[in-house]
Structure 1
């Protein structure tokens, strides 16, 4: 059996037969709710009439009183009413839905007119859609398409506005971030420039004092001005010590790694990351400002000829770290794991020897540290070490700690005879 309304197959639990024409319909196609159908099924089977039979009107041709059957609406008209209700956002109620099944010929005229006319729909944001009753229960595909386009255009405009707003917020946030970075960079450049000027000024003062000292020596060569000469020498020594202190402050984030074999084509960064890993620190490349070998090549015999060739006297590796705390932790771990060798660093085949990690010192402090170690061995002192680039010495665990800044301090601390160097 087929439904006369939707032309689809009807099963027994959904069928409703007209008592006049015996036509079969889905109960939902004639706008009867499921609750009403189940509650009044027996009464409907006895008395229900389809819309076509229920809309018969009395129309006469002359004296003939033969009734004329109404025009039955097509399934498309019924579905168009439902589609229009959905587009309006309304709720479809089976108990109140009524299909216009009258034989009014103006309905057919209006349907043909809407199908064949290029209808321009108003903007949904400004006007409302015409009521369903005005369309006499029908809507063409053309109108449906324009309704859908109107809805899609509204959604598109809303999405574009949201994207524009989000883009503007991102642009503002990015501008604020870049402005702050540029301001910090400008401040940093100003600070570096100021420090550079101060260093240049100190160097000029040092040169000027040396010239004055030489001039004073020439003028007072035959006179007894030892006190003035001694004051001048003391002033120069103090200035040199201050300059050395400033240079050492600039190296507080640096370390020096020695006794690591040197190969042609090696990667100092890769070697350092491997060393840090062996010392218990997992560092990334952004933790390192600079890494490389320093110092002159010692003689032609140490020249590297081919890939994998090892230098007999490897140059030290100098590393500048981004943070002071990382440097301190690396030095601490190197003291705990003293004796760690160069094995498993990804280097070519070589003899595995221990490497050493120390603070990087200025040339002056490096010379002082070397001489202090020699005097320590000669006089059986227990301790000579460096901390934050400064040289310290201690005779025993209970004795006083001495801070060594110059050759003169070496002579005083270790109680040795003054030499030409110690007189400075």
Structure 2
């Protein structure tokens, strides 16, 4: 059995075959690059198939190498055939499809160009937004630094105001624990406490003395304190020093044996800021974080442990350092 002219392999009866109408060479159908539909079309049009070699020789003989001329020749030869209209319609349909593909490709290129331009514009906008965001971040950093500086300045000013306010209270003391009685004369109670701690208080040395109004939210078992302002700082300091010497002072020392004996405390008058700081410091002492705490001339001092350095407490930052 002969072999395929192109691949040289044997031609089996089970395989589809095709012979050249010019050189009579026999080929496998798969070696001709034709489909079964193409084979049926050739049979329908009663045309002979030519192999690639013979087709090349035929084109050289006609001096016709361009695709356009090949198509024209195909149209011309098909017009001479028995069914020229069918092939013309096929060629026309093929050209229409090519034209449609070209139009679609043109539209696709336009769409792609539009989206490329859109993406480019979006990229520019994103870059602009990033730049604006970076500027805002820089401004926020500047504002944060300014705010931090302002806070430091405000804290310093508050400390100065507190110092001045405390200085204005240096002649003033507080007496806690003295029971309140109807019709009491507060200045006389001050003199009575002075005698209990070993000093004589001249009424003319007192600028004013009053008992703080009762606070419903406070401890009802503890009487409101007495506020005393002396005309001179030395008088207030003498009163405080005498109380330190006395150490333990109770209501019985005032001669009030008919009342339960309670301790009496004498302290310098503190500003609201220093009262809060003193309260926080005492809380730290109860927690064991401060060993000693005391007042001197309206200032709060603390010592973390025995033998450690004395610390002046002026702000919450000083309190935080002990935590």
Deviations 1:180-235 (A, max 9, x none): xxxxxxxxxxxxxxxxxxxxxxxxxxxxxxxxxxxxxxx99982222111001111
Which structure has the larger Rg?
A: 2
What does 1:116-131 correspond to in 2, within 5 Å? Answer: none
User: Scaled by the length of structure 2, what TM-score is found?
Assistant: 0.53
Report which of the two has the higher share of helix: 2
**Contact conserved, 1:260 with 1:342, CA < 8 A, in 2?**
yes
Inter-partner Cα distance in structure 2 for 1:390 and 1:359: 9
Unaligned runs of 5+ in 2: 1-135
> Are 1:331 and 2:202 an aligned pair?
no
What does 1:58-207 correspond to in 2, within 5 Å? Answer: none
Query: For residues 261 and 378 of structure 1, do their structure 2 counterparts lie closer, same or farther at Cα, with a shift above 3 Å needed?
Result: same
Inter-partner Cα distance in structure 1 for 2:208 and 2:314: 28
Match of 2:10 in 1: none
> Are 1:223 and 2:115 an aligned pair?
no
Inter-partner Cα distance in structure 2 for 1:405 and 1:234: 14
Match of 2:295 in 1: 386
> Are 1:358 and 2:276 an aligned pair?
no
Inter-partner Cα distance in structure 1 for 2:144 and 2:282: 33
- Three-state SS of the structure 2 residue aligned to 1:274 is helix
Inter-partner Cα distance in structure 2 for 1:343 and 1:411: 40
Inter-partner Cα distance in structure 1 for 2:137 and 2:187: 57
Q: Which has the higher contact order (CA 8 A, sep 6+)?
A: 2
User: Residue 193 of structure 2 is aligned with which of 269, 275, 278?
Assistant: 275
- Three-state SS of the structure 1 residue aligned to 2:161 is helix
Query: For residues 296 and 231 of structure 1, do their structure 2 counterparts lie closer, same or farther at Cα, with a shift above 3 Å needed?
Result: farther
**Contact conserved, 1:271 with 1:345, CA < 8 A, in 2?**
no
User: Scaled by the length of structure 1, what TM-score is found?
Assistant: 0.41
Inter-partner Cα distance in structure 2 for 1:388 and 1:340: 21
- Three-state SS of the structure 2 residue aligned to 1:237 is helix
User: Residue 309 of structure 2 is aligned with which of 400, 411, 415?
Assistant: 400
Deviations 1:364-415 (A, max 9, x none): 0010011011112213432111111111111234211111111112112x0x
Inter-partner Cα distance in structure 1 for 2:179 and 2:138: 54
Inter-partner Cα distance in structure 2 for 1:227 and 1:393: 33
- Three-state SS of the structure 1 residue aligned to 2:312 is strand
Inter-partner Cα distance in structure 2 for 1:322 and 1:240: 27
Match of 1:187 in 2: none
